[in-house]
Amino acid sequence: MIELLKFIYRYIKYPQQRKKVYLNKKIIPIQNKEIEIRFKKDTRNLIVFMVPGAQWEHGKENISGGLISICSLFNETEKLKDIHNAEVIMVTHKEDGLIWEFKSFENNIKLFRIDQLRNYFTNLDNLLFHLPELFISRFIDTFGSKNINWLKTIPNVHFNIMNQNIRLMPDVDVINELKNWANKITITTAHQRYCTKDKRDFYGFPLHKFSVWISPEQYFFKNKNEKENLMVVSPDPHPLKNKILNRIKDIKGLEVRIIENLTYEAYKELIARAKWSLTFGEGLDGYFIEPVFSGAISFAVFNELFFTQDFNSLDTVYSSIDELELKIIKDIESFDDNNAFQNYQKIQFELCAQYYCKDNYLDNIKSFYNCKYTYE
C-alpha cells in the first residue's frame, strides 16, 4: 500500500514519472513479443548482461565508456557460442526506466526487462549474470523474492562482477551476500592496475582481466598538421577545473571544448580533430586513451588506482593537480613544435597500445568463457 501511494504521489507531482510510465507501456509489448522471437523457451544455458536503464531526468540512456564497454563485451560474447553454448541477453536494472534500444551510439542490441527472465527461461541448467560493480548493492536489495526463488531452480548460477572502476566496487561483505544465490562468483577488470594477485586475495574470488574495447584501429588517426588547434576536455567535475580552463583559454588561437551532448560517433570525429586532450576524471580513462589513439597529446593527473607506474614517465601525466596547473600551459606551448609533438605523441601512443590491444582483449574474453582466469 505504501509503495502504491508513493507511486501515485510521484505520478502526480513529476512529469518525469508520467513520461516513464508512458514509455514503459510502449516498450513492454515489444519486449514481450521479441523475447519469443529471439530466444527458445527451452534454453538451457543463458548469459545475461545488466546495464542501466533510462535515466529519471531525461528518459534516455546515459552514454558512457562503461556502457559502451559492456555492449562490446556483449557483442563479443555473442560470437563465442561455440565456447559457451549459451544464449546471450541484455537487461536493464529493474528500478530504471525501460529501454528497447540505445540511441546514442551505433549498435544493434535490443534490451529486455530483468523480470522477463524468470517468466520465460524456466528450464535453465546454467545461468551466468554479468553485473556492473556499481549495481551490486542495489541488485541485492531489489532483485525480489520471485527472482530469488527462480535462481534456486537453476543448478548452476554464476555471478560475474564487472569491475570497471575500482572506486565503485562494493565492500567484500556485500559481494559475499551473492554467495547465498550462486554457486560461483568471479570478478573481471577493465584495467591492468587492479587485476593483481593482491586484489584476488582481497576479494577472495577468481579474478580475470577483460580489459576494454578501446584499441588503436577503431579511431580516426590524424597527424598534427591535419588537426585543429583544439583541446577537448572531459566533462568530469573538479574544484579547479574552471580556473585551469580559463588560464588555458588565454593561449592565443586555442579553442577549448568540454565534451558533452554528443553521440559516440560525433565524439570520435571531434577527438580526431583535436591536438590536445585534458581529463579531470580517472586519469587513464577514455578521455585520455581515445584522443591518443586519434593522434592527440593527452594531459592528466596520475591516479595510482588506474595508471600503472610506467605512465609516470610521461611529461603530461602530472603528480598532482597543482603540478598540472603550474606546467600545462608551458607544456602545450613546448609540444606545439612539430617535431616535439610527433615524438612525444608516438611515446604516448605506444605506451597506451601496450595495454589496449584488440587481439589481447578478444583473447581475454575467450579465456574467461573457457574458465581460464588471470588469477584462479
Residue 176 scores a pLDDT above 60: yes
What average pLDDT score do residues 257-267 get? 92
In whole numbers, what is the pLDDT of the chain averaged over residues? Answer: 91
Tally of CA atoms within 13 A in the half-sphere of 207 that contains its CB: 19
Q: Is residue 1 part of a domain?
A: no
What average pLDDT score do residues 292-311 get? 96
**173 and 297, same domain (yes or no):** no
What average pLDDT score do residues 85-108 get? 89
Residue 100 scores a pLDDT above 80: yes
Which of 27-31, 95-99, 131-135, 350-354 is least confident? 95-99
Q: Is residue 25 part of a domain?
A: yes
What CATH number did the domain enclosing 254 receive?
3.40.50.2000
Q: Is residue 375 part of a domain?
A: no
pLDDT tens, residue by residue, 179-199: 999 999 999 999 899 999 999
Range of 244's domain?
Answer: 216-355
| Residue 318: all three cell numbers together | 602530472
**83 and 115, same domain (yes or no):** yes
| Residue 186: all three cell numbers together | 568471479
Position 50 confidence tier, pLDDT thresholds 50, 70, 90: very high
pLDDT of 53 reads 81
Residue 262 scores a pLDDT above 80: yes
**123 and 271, same domain (yes or no):** no
DSSP 170: P
Which of 95-104, 137-146, 340-349 is least confident? 95-104
Domain count, the chain: 2
Residues 335, 314 contacting (CB under 8 angstroms): no
What average pLDDT score do residues 316-333 get? 97
pLDDT of 63 reads 72
**90 and 227, same domain (yes or no):** no
Q: Is residue 376 part of a domain?
A: no
Model-level pTM? 0.84
**136 and 13, same domain (yes or no):** yes
Number of continuous H segments (helices) and E segments (strands) in the chain: 15, 12
**189 and 234, same domain (yes or no):** no
Q: Which residues contact 303 (CB under 8 A, 6 or more apart)?
A: 282, 283, 284
Distance from C-alpha of 234 to C-alpha of 245, rounded to nearest angstrom: 11
**184 and 286, same domain (yes or no):** no
pLDDT above 70: percentage of residues in the chain: 92
Distance from C-alpha of 193 to C-alpha of 365, rounded to nearest angstrom: 18
**167 and 225, same domain (yes or no):** no
Distance from C-alpha of 21 to C-alpha of 59, rounded to nearest angstrom: 10
Round the CA-based radius of gyration of the chain to a whole number and report it. Answer: 22
Distance from C-alpha of 139 to C-alpha of 163, rounded to nearest angstrom: 15
Residue type for position 165: N
Position 49 confidence tier, pLDDT thresholds 50, 70, 90: very high
Q: Is residue 293 part of a domain?
A: yes
Residue of 116, 123, 98 whose CA lies nearest to 42: 123
Tally of CA atoms within 13 A in the half-sphere of 48 that contains its CB: 22
What average pLDDT score do residues 306-315 get? 95
Q: Is residue 288 part of a domain?
A: yes
Position 257 confidence tier, pLDDT thresholds 50, 70, 90: very high
What average pLDDT score do residues 95-123 get? 90
**22 and 158, same domain (yes or no):** yes
Q: Which residues contact 57 (CB under 8 A, 6 or more apart)?
A: 16
**36 and 124, same domain (yes or no):** yes
pLDDT of 8 reads 58
Residue 249 scores a pLDDT above 60: yes
pLDDT of 255 reads 97
What average pLDDT score do residues 165-186 get? 94
Residue of 198, 179, 180, 176 whose CA lies nearest to 189: 198
The DSSP secondary structure of 56-122, one letter per residue, reads TTTSS----HHHHHHHHHHHHHHTTHHHH--EEEEEE-TTSBP-SB--SS----BEEEHHHHHHH--
Residue 17 scores a pLDDT above 60: no
Q: Which residues contact 37 (CB under 8 A, 6 or more apart)?
A: none
What average pLDDT score do residues 228-235 get? 97
**334 and 233, same domain (yes or no):** yes
Q: Is residue 283 part of a domain?
A: yes
Residue 118 scores a pLDDT above 80: yes
Residue 319 scores a pLDDT above 90: yes
Can you state the angle between helices 358-369 and 65-78, rounded to 10 degrees? 60
What average pLDDT score do residues 303-307 get? 93
**241 and 205, same domain (yes or no):** no
Q: How far is CA 112 from the centre of its chain?
A: 19
pLDDT of 326 reads 96
What CATH number did the domain enclosing 183 receive?
3.40.50
Residues 175, 205 contacting (CB under 8 angstroms): yes
Distance from C-alpha of 87 to C-alpha of 273, rounded to nearest angstrom: 40
Q: Is residue 169 part of a domain?
A: yes
Report the length, in residues, of the chain.
Answer: 376
What average pLDDT score do residues 36-58 get? 87
